[in-house]
A and B are shown apart, each in its own frame.
Chain A
């Protein structure tokens, strides 16, 4: 009995610890689905909250009755066998009542669910005037973003203006991927041979310096976990400036800076050009990210800020930031390699940058 008493006390301790731990551990990071910044995400959140409160109410009622029954009707394990409770077999009115109750809850849930499904999935809502259209192609393990109306192609870094509807045409070049920007709304899969789409309107005022977090959400092997990208929501002016910067960049020009020139040599010599296209300078393979105007990017590999140090780390060993990805490790730590890396960084950071003196400055 002594043991049973001790167990009785001990068995509830985790409950006392678990709740504050959870409260203390949970902070809303950039992957949150609660601090939402688009119309679709807000609708989804309000539907979620409906399911949450309904579910919580059901849990409280059911578990409340459940615990009450256990404590009220509990007897000791060695209870007298001859003490037999009434042998009730059922109760028709109760059965009907607790069949109807969930029916009502289901109806309360189904109506807004179907309404929102129609809003976000309907083909007729697919395009509208003044949309920013982005063709998204998923590759193992990076994202290509093409703006067909603007003539811009970029990788792992998506720019959209606030307050304007953004429509994404989703296509995969190899296996399944899933496009997910948590604060902008739920995800949609990229399926080879299938024409999928997703849209949302970033809120007015959602433009911010810090880009939004985004992640591939469908298993694609290898570096799937690191197949992330960043979504930069700009004000209308900033977005136009970003577009103009890319459209106006001169593709052929390479800085006369000797470090940049050396970097261009190394880029070809090391075989980078075999995979990564730089328009006007290198013809690579479309399966790998296009580095045209790379100097204007703000993210390395969709993961880290595009500083010279981060880019150098990436080039030195691509498996550090993105374990499992296809990019080969071309440097073994031999003498003179650091200068080569430094030169390639300088070259990449000079691409698309008009003010050539700032080519290798931190961006």
Chain B
């Protein structure tokens, strides 16, 4: 689309004394300084895919070592580092940023906003995440990676048992990631509450936006718990306090409670975005609205809320006592109710539809199947006494990979195949997409289904090897073969996506016959999103606009704007649409924190001070750099009706 740009000379423009707000839209600087939610979304997603590959390679090392019993291909120490970094990477550096990619790119489009509420804060979240990820992975090259598991159980993480810097890298890296997530959480809550297009009541929001909102509430309520735990651990390690040291009156079990008060909501932080994606993909490819929308939305919210009442089911074998075990078993079982309801409603969405088995749909259907399997084994864990046999075995490994790969990753892949034409303006190959799905589907199931059997026959988790007498060699070989097939699927995915992004078939408008308003936009998405902010009268507004005769009667908005108002809410006055300038300061502040962290790691007070000075200067200049930016004027035929 042809647009004209002119500088926003009317806007007050202080440079903050350092950098001018850049306006370039090309090159490295444009990416370092971007505050466009779409570009930040792309950065998050690419970072997520990158670390997904890194974490996957770590998984292959783990599986190779376990191919047969008694192998010693890597040392136990390196093995411990591999699974610790595999877990930490996949959770914090792969699935969470991939989800954040979707939140960033889609939420403003789905609610008809120009950007998130705080675009520079959004950039700061990304760069803080970026430097946190670097901090964590820098440990590989600076004396060895953390090896105490992604859960970092005390007292293993104390200086007595982990004297090196590895655990400090983990502590500092996770604190940066936590800060990034918290700020993004607040940002998206404010965005979704305040910046919806006229007429878009809460119950007209797409289900994906609802799940985004629930996830952000989980983030801001759960991350403080791990932040407290990490700060206390940092105190223990750096300053010799004894929060978790029994010799000083501390309690190792206290870490577990703090960790899982965070850790259980965290797994919903990982799965709910995928549930949101599936709730968008299924209706489109069934040509039907989401069945039981309010029930699906409220079930998602309820799952999030109840996620705070079940954390001790990770601790059934820690001797909490009969009452606590019974209570947490019961609360855990009740999670099955809203989860089951969601699955039934998804099937209800399919029922009577015109189901097109496109690649996004295959991944969404794969999600439902594998998430159901993982959900069932999850309920099996909730029976606390039976769980005593399953805890810390490969049965648990099978369970959570079914919900995190079969669930989260398949959901995210579904979303990727569905929405990527919006980003690139090109279609991904359906042929190769389907091959990727089937290779990944079978690779995944061949890897993880046998683990149910291995766990129930005595294979403990986080073990460098297993005894030959257990008779589990063949099952493990099968799992290892499966993991290579899964990796092959991911490899094909990367190659064909790169090829199709460069030379795929061009597409300029909604290729899927979709239902939600982000598909009204031309492809790829214009830099200013909507030229006029749309008015919303229906839940599936885009579908309604295409088929006004099919609108559901009780959906007509008595609340909000009653009819599509041709004027819309135009920001297109004589100046055109204002695009704020980019900014260096989020990057500068994140970099300052990065310096602080390395000062802390290497006990350099000077470096800590320098880092804080950089951070403070960034913060100060940020506050005073003014609005800047340009005005753009969409030209030509308005595609907006």
Contact = CB atoms under 8 A, between A and B. Distances in A.
A189 B391 CA distance: 10
Interface string B144-173: 000111000101100011100000000000
Interface stretch (B229-237, B434-442, B601-609): B434-442
Interface of B, helix, strand, loop or mixed by DSSP: helix
Interface string B271-312: 000000000000000111101111100000000000000000
Contact of A117 (B329, B337, B352, B547): B329
Contact of A110 (B253, B333, B353, B354): B333
Nearest to A224: B463
A66 B369 contact: yes
Contacts of A79: 354, 356
A221 B156 contact: yes
A323 B76 contact: yes
Contacts of B373: 59
Contacts of A86: 288, 352
Given A59-B372, A106-B334, A213-B469, A75 B356 contact: yes
A193 B456 contact: no
A103 B338 CA distance: 10
Contacts of B430: 77
A66 B336 CA distance: 18
Contacts of A269: none
B490 interface: no
Interface stretch (B99-107, B343-351, B623-631): B343-351
A32 B455 CA distance: 9
A281 interface: no
A34 B161 contact: no
A51 B446 CA distance: 23
Interface residues of A, number: 114
Contact of A51 (B148, B326, B379): B379
Interface string B254-281: 0000000000000000000000000000
B445 A14 contact: yes
A22 B474 CA distance: 9
Contact of B333 (A31, A76, A106): A106
A31 B156 contact: no
A316 B345 CA distance: 64
Interface string A89-125: 1110011001101110110011011101110111100
B385 A69 contact: no
A110 B325 CA distance: 12
B562 interface: no
Given A44-B385, A77-B357, A88 B352 contact: yes
Given A26-B475, A98-B340, A194-B253, 9 more contacts: A58-B376, A65-B347, A74-B357, A89-B293, A90-B293, A176-B156, A186-B389, A188-B317, A221-B147
7 contacts: A25-B475, A48-B383, A58-B372, A59-B372, A112-B383, A194-B252, A323-B76
Interface of B: 72, 75-77, 80, 147-149, 153, 155-156, 160-162, 246, 251-253, 286-289, 291-295, 317-319, 321-322, 325-326, 329-330, 333-334, 336-337, 340-341, 343-345, 347-348, 350-358, 365, 368-369, 372-373, 376-377, 379-380, 382-389, 391-393, 430-431, 434-435, 438, 441-442, 445-446, 449-450, 453, 456-467, 469-472, 474-475, 478, 513, 547, 550, 552, 555
Interface of A: 3-4, 7, 10-11, 14, 18, 21-22, 24-34, 41, 43-45, 47-48, 50-52, 54-56, 58-59, 62-63, 65-66, 69-70, 73-77, 79, 81, 83-91, 94-95, 98-99, 101-103, 105-106, 109-110, 112-114, 116-118, 120-123, 140, 170, 174-176, 178, 180, 182, 185-189, 191-197, 213, 215-226, 228, 303, 323-324
